[in-house]
Amino acid sequence: MSNAIELSNISFAYNNTKPILADLNLTLEQGKVYSILGPNGAGKTTLINIMLGRLRPTSGRVSVLGHQPESDFCRQRVGAMMQLGGLPLQTKVDEFLALFASYHQTPIPLERLISLCQLAPFLEQTFDTLSGGQKQRLFMAIALAGNPNIVFLDEPSVGMDVESRQQLWQAVRTLKQQNKTVLLTTHYLHEAEALADELLVLKEGKCTKLNDIPELANTYRRSQIKFTSDLSAAALVNALPMIDLNVKGDQFTILTDEPNHILQQLLEKFSIRNLYVAPMSLEEAYLSLMNARSA
Binding positions for other proteins, rule: CB under 8 A: 52, 54, 72, 75-76, 78, 80, 82-91, 95, 98-100, 102-105, 126, 142, 146
**Closest CB to other proteins among 20 and 80?**
80
Shortest Cβ 142–other proteins spacing (Å): 6
**Closest CB to other proteins among 43 and 148?**
148
Shortest Cβ 31–other proteins spacing (Å): 22
Shortest Cβ 86–other proteins spacing (Å): 4
Shortest Cβ 257–other proteins spacing (Å): 45
Shortest Cβ 76–other proteins spacing (Å): 5
**Closest CB to other proteins among 41 and 85?**
85
**Closest CB to other proteins among 100 and 252?**
100
- In one-letter notation, the amino acid at residue 41 is G
**Closest CB to other proteins among 98 and 278?**
98
Whether 252 and 246 have beta carbons less than 8 Å apart is answered as yes
Alpha carbon 92 to its chain centroid, in Å, reads 30
